[in-house]
Chain A
Amino acid sequence: MSAVVAEHDDHHDDHAHGPAKGLLRWVITTNHKDIGTLYLVFSLAMFFVGGAMAMIIRAELFEPGLQFVQPQFFNSMTTMHALVMVFGAVMPAFVGLANWMIPMMIGAPDMALPRMNNMSFWMLVAGISLLASTLFMEGGSPAGGWTMYPPLMLQTGKALPFAIFAVHLLGISSIMGSINIIATIFNMRAPGMTLMKMPLFVWTWLITAFLLIAIMPVFAGAVTMLLTDKFFGTSFFDAAGGGDPVLYEHIFWFFGHPEVYVMILPAFGVTSTIIPVFARKPLFGYSSMVYATASIAFLSFIVWAHHMFTVGMPIAGELYFMYATMLIAIPTGVKVFNWTATMWKGSMTFETPMLFSIAFVVLFTMGGFTGLMMSIAPSDFQYHDTYFIVAHFHYTLVPAAVFSLMAAGYYWLPKWTGHMYNEKIGQLHFWLSAVSVNILFFPQHFLGLAGMPRRIPDYAVQFADWNMISSIGGFIFGASQLLFLYIVIDTIRGGTGEKVTDEVWEDAHKHGLEWTLPSPPPYHTFTTPPAVIPTEHI
């Protein structure tokens, strides 16, 4: 079957083969690469905004006592740091990768629904803008935690409806993006690209997209009820009217648990893509990776109440959610095993993407293990709402999700730009990040086990030493990320000056269709479906 891009007469303007001129190009673009770039640039900016908030948090916690900020503002910072990082940085970064890579990986000319693709990006910007605007409002931005539990959240000042509508917009954005990804993967694959030949990054995103469509409306529903409770006299979360604040927690975590997997499944995909290239071996256990990802996604829907063991559930509920949660360790273990087995006896080299990916495997496993500890309901009563949980989810999010994003950035930047990044500075960035992230988060395990609660601006003096060490790690980690910003800008502007080949990495063409394209790829790729599908990644 031969195919061409349909160029209809009424669309045959000067720009049919290239981008529109000027800044407007970025506003009205329907090109998956442009939109991918928009997502990635936006998420990088939000990474630094959210990071600045984290720096405020760590500065305040450097020493016991109140140093720099008021407690209310401190709580705003923990809340906004989480919301910005989750919805503004990590999720959009993965959507950006999906936009850039999925069409190129499956041999499609573009995303299935390009206009909606544009809208989902601008909805994201609108949502984050609405959220950020609350920083300047009377009563401050939301300070009740990113989980927005009532009744505490209902005490928010003027920011409350803005934060709620921001969630709605972000939800619309995510749902549009997910629908697009599903339609693209199911409908736009090149002939011969069967489902079980798809790169794992595509598989993990397909499953993530289903998660998002199933959970974002749940979050939207939950915050809608917050809104009506506050402004329209309903009593969903008010026991006086027959409602129950615990109901909110159930609904929120029914969204929230799959949501944390939304941030890690594409990271699994990135890692599964990068490790085989630098181990010079096909991925070990491809199909088991697919099934493991699907199992993790399924399990994520039936374990939510492990976030609320201390809420006063019946004992049967505690036991069920405890054992169901432990089950997740099995497919996750399959994945870690497969990554390790892929590296086993490989001829490995350690370029920056590989370094970040190996760190991902090691440090994500650490975050996974603390997760197992907390899944044990009776033990969780000790860990709940302490710095132990903070350490746990930061291990799964920073040296896992964020590291995989860094790995993806280094891995694909040469493909995107046609230039090679500076490997020396890249490795410096890696080592600074990998060491400092452990100085930052590892002591928080000790703090949590010793009983330091999360979300407080001040603490007992017994926690002083580890907090200071953690803060120092935080400052080093934060500063190190400026190196990444430098490298990205430098690479876009020409990098080392070395012209990269189409496959960039040795024998990368065996691992994905994107490496058969020129670096940088033309504005429109696969105007005809690729004839040969590489199968060696299986």
Chain B
Amino acid sequence: MSTTDTYYIPHKATWPVIGTAGLLTMLAGFANYLNGSSIGPTMMVLGLVIFIIMLTGWFTLQATESESGMYSTQVGISYRMGMMWFIFSEIVFFAVFFGTLWYTRNLSVPWLGGEGTGAATKELLWPSFDATWPTNGPKALGVDESGARKFGAELEPMGAWGLPFLNTLILLSSGVTVTWAHHGLLAKNRDQLIKGLIATVALGFLFVSFQAYEYHEAYTEMGLTLGSGIYGSTFFMLTGFHGLHVCIGAIILSVVLFRSWKGHFNPENHFAFEAAAWYWHFVDVVWLGLFIFVYLL
């Protein structure tokens, strides 16, 4: 380990510009796809491949440098600050959708039902609409089997005590296993580190599988889709972005697991593990918010 009074400065970096090119290609491809252009999917795949190559290359470089003891304590602090504020920005991103849920549920839907200053709104727009939650809106955008528009249709909410509760237990347990792994790392017990990580990754992917099943149920059995008015919009946006983050977190933890297998990390120097664990706890806490505000209340 270097000491605090040395500066570490990397001199040349090719991965950032490659990663940017990948992301740009991917997003331009996605935009083309949304516009119905046939080149879209190809660009998306190409961009994704470049992006994955960048991630692999850049993180391999970082891991190699870290293992060769190039990072000083100061660099470690910079990385930790970076990760901390990155997670903060992610929290803000989720806050937008939680805020949207709060606003629509407590303000805009009641206004449509005539509450507050919404009396005229109700009379003039959809007089027969009664504000309830969940709702797919006063003029449900979907059509029923006969092709007729559904007006203010009843909507069955996603229950909290089935799969979602199980998923809560799964994520909370994974928070425990990752901490157990951390203790193993600190105690130089590599076996415990690896077992803890395997359990965490497995629980993470189990969570995602259950959620995929839940989505399947919602779409095929319950008729609950992204298009199911504001309930469907907020439900899928919140749980969908969370599920995406669980996937990302599980992939990060898999990389950390792989590195642990290769003998990386020691009790003093294991930023990657810490960052992954912080990210995992963040994903965990967001889920608790989701369980309470999306499913339970």
Residues of A within 8 A of B (CB): 1-6, 8, 10-11, 13, 15-16, 20, 27-30, 109-110, 112-116, 118-119, 122-123, 125-126, 129-130, 133, 158, 161-162, 164-165, 168-169, 172, 175, 178-180, 182-184, 186-188, 213-218, 220-222, 225, 227-228, 231-236, 238-244, 246-247, 250-251, 312, 314, 524, 527
3 tightest A-B CB contacts, nearest first: A221-B96, A242-B230, A119-B16
Q: Which residues of B contact A11 (CB under 8 A)?
A: 10-11
Q: Is the C-beta of B225 less than 8 angstroms from some C-beta in chain A? A: yes
Contact A242:B13 (CB < 8 A) given known A182-B85, A235-B229: no
Contact A251:B137 (CB < 8 A) given known A8-B70, A115-B16: no
A211 to chain B, nearest CB (A): 11
Q: Which residues of B contact A161 (CB under 8 A)?
A: 30-31, 34-35
Q: Is the C-beta of B141 less than 8 angstroms from some C-beta in chain A? A: yes
Contact A187:B19 (CB < 8 A) given known A115-B10, A213-B88: no
Q: Are A247 and B17 in contact (CB under 8 A)?
A: no
Bound: A239/B24 CA distance, A: 34
Work out how many contacts link A and B, with CB atoms closer than 8 A: 236
Q: Are B108 and A235 in contact (CB under 8 A)?
A: no
Q: Are B74 and A187 in contact (CB under 8 A)?
A: yes
Q: Is the C-beta of B257 less than 8 angstroms from some C-beta in chain A? A: no
Q: Are B28 and A165 in contact (CB under 8 A)?
A: yes
Tell me which of B10, B15, B81 contacts A179 (CB under 8 A). Answer: B81
Contact A126:B97 (CB < 8 A) given known A29-B12, A186-B81: no
Contact A187:B20 (CB < 8 A) given known A243-B108, A244-B108: no
B129 to chain A, nearest CB (A): 9
Q: Are A242 and B112 in contact (CB under 8 A)?
A: yes
B259 to chain A, nearest CB (A): 19
Q: Are B233 and A236 in contact (CB under 8 A)?
A: yes
Q: Which residues of B contact A231 (CB under 8 A)?
A: 34
Bound: A222/B99 CA distance, A: 11
Q: Are B11 and A30 in contact (CB under 8 A)?
A: yes
Q: Are B137 and A182 in contact (CB under 8 A)?
A: no
Q: Which residues of A contact B88 (CB under 8 A)?
A: 213-214
Q: Which residues of A contact B17 (CB under 8 A)?
A: 27-28, 118-119, 122
Q: Are A247 and B141 in contact (CB under 8 A)?
A: no
**10 more CB-based (< 8 A) A-B contacts, given A6-B6, A214-B92, A250-B103:** A5-B6, A6-B2, A112-B78, A122-B16, A125-B20, A175-B86, A217-B89, A236-B230, A242-B231, A243-B108
Contact A251:B100 (CB < 8 A) given known A183-B81, A234-B232, A241-B139: yes
B72 to chain A, nearest CB (A): 7
Q: Is the C-beta of B5 less than 8 angstroms from some C-beta in chain A? A: yes
Contact A216:B141 (CB < 8 A) given known A15-B12, A27-B17: no
B 64-119 contacts with A by CB, 8 A? 68, 70, 72, 74, 77-79, 81-82, 85-86, 88-90, 92-93, 95-97, 99-100, 103-104, 107-109, 111-112, 116-117
Task: List 26 A–B pairs whose Cβ atoms lie within 8 Å, in order of A's numbering.
Answer: A3-B7, A27-B17, A28-B12, A113-B78, A113-B82, A116-B82, A119-B20, A126-B21, A129-B24, A161-B34, A182-B85, A187-B74, A213-B88, A216-B89, A217-B93, A225-B233, A225-B237, A228-B233, A228-B237, A236-B230, A238-B137, A242-B230, A244-B103, A247-B104, A251-B100, A314-B117
- Can you name the residue of chain A whose Cβ is closest to the Cβ of B76? A187
Q: Binary interface profile of B, 38-66, with partner A (CB < 8 Å = 1, else 0)?
A: 00000000000000000000100000000
A306 to chain B, nearest CB (A): 18
Bound: A429/B268 CA distance, A: 57
Q: Is the C-beta of B140 less than 8 angstroms from some C-beta in chain A? A: yes
Q: Is the C-beta of B27 less than 8 angstroms from some C-beta in chain A? A: yes
- Can you name the residue of chain A whose Cβ is closest to the Cβ of B2? A6
Q: Are A251 and B99 in contact (CB under 8 A)?
A: yes
Q: Which residues of A contact B140 (CB under 8 A)?
A: 241
Q: Which residues of B contact A133 (CB under 8 A)?
A: 28
Q: Are A130 and B13 in contact (CB under 8 A)?
A: no
Contact A6:B72 (CB < 8 A) given known A187-B78, A228-B226, A247-B104: yes
Q: Is the C-beta of B8 less than 8 angstroms from some C-beta in chain A? A: yes
Q: Size class of B's contact patch?
A: 35 or more
Q: Are B137 and A242 in contact (CB under 8 A)?
A: yes
Q: Are A213 and B92 in contact (CB under 8 A)?
A: yes
Q: Are B7 and A109 in contact (CB under 8 A)?
A: yes
B84 to chain A, nearest CB (A): 9
Tell me which of B12, B58, B139 contacts A20 (CB under 8 A). Answer: B12
Tell me which of B35, B77, B89 contacts A158 (CB under 8 A). Answer: B35
Bound: A173/B97 CA distance, A: 22
A103 to chain B, nearest CB (A): 11
B27 to chain A, nearest CB (A): 4
Tell me which of A112, A118, A524 contacts B81 (CB under 8 A). Answer: A112
- Can you name the residue of chain A whose Cβ is closest to the Cβ of B70? A8
Q: Are B30 and A165 in contact (CB under 8 A)?
A: yes
Q: Is the C-beta of B267 less than 8 angstroms from some C-beta in chain A? A: no
Q: Binary interface profile of B, 260-283, with partner A (CB < 8 Å = 1, else 0)?
A: 000000000000000000000000
Contact A115:B137 (CB < 8 A) given known A213-B88, A221-B97: no
B 205-233 contacts with A by CB, 8 A? 225-227, 229-233
Contact A242:B108 (CB < 8 A) given known A30-B10, A183-B78: yes
Q: Are A183 and B82 in contact (CB under 8 A)?
A: yes
Q: Are B93 and A221 in contact (CB under 8 A)?
A: yes
Q: Are A5 and B7 in contact (CB under 8 A)?
A: yes
B230 to chain A, nearest CB (A): 3
Contact A241:B16 (CB < 8 A) given known A30-B11, A113-B78, A182-B85: no
Bound: A30/B58 CA distance, A: 14
Bound: A359/B113 CA distance, A: 53
Q: Which residues of A contact B85 (CB under 8 A)?
A: 178-179, 182-183, 213
Tell me which of B15, B108, B227 contacts A233 (CB under 8 A). Answer: B227
Q: Which residues of A contact B97 (CB under 8 A)?
A: 221
Bound: A394/B5 CA distance, A: 47
Q: Which residues of A contact B143 (CB under 8 A)?
A: none
Q: Are B24 and A130 in contact (CB under 8 A)?
A: yes
Q: Which residues of A contact B35 (CB under 8 A)?
A: 158, 161
Q: Are B15 and A115 in contact (CB under 8 A)?
A: yes
Q: Is the C-beta of B135 less than 8 angstroms from some C-beta in chain A? A: yes
Q: Are A4 and B6 in contact (CB under 8 A)?
A: yes
Bound: A161/B32 CA distance, A: 8
Bound: A265/B10 CA distance, A: 31
Contact A243:B104 (CB < 8 A) given known A182-B85, A234-B232: yes
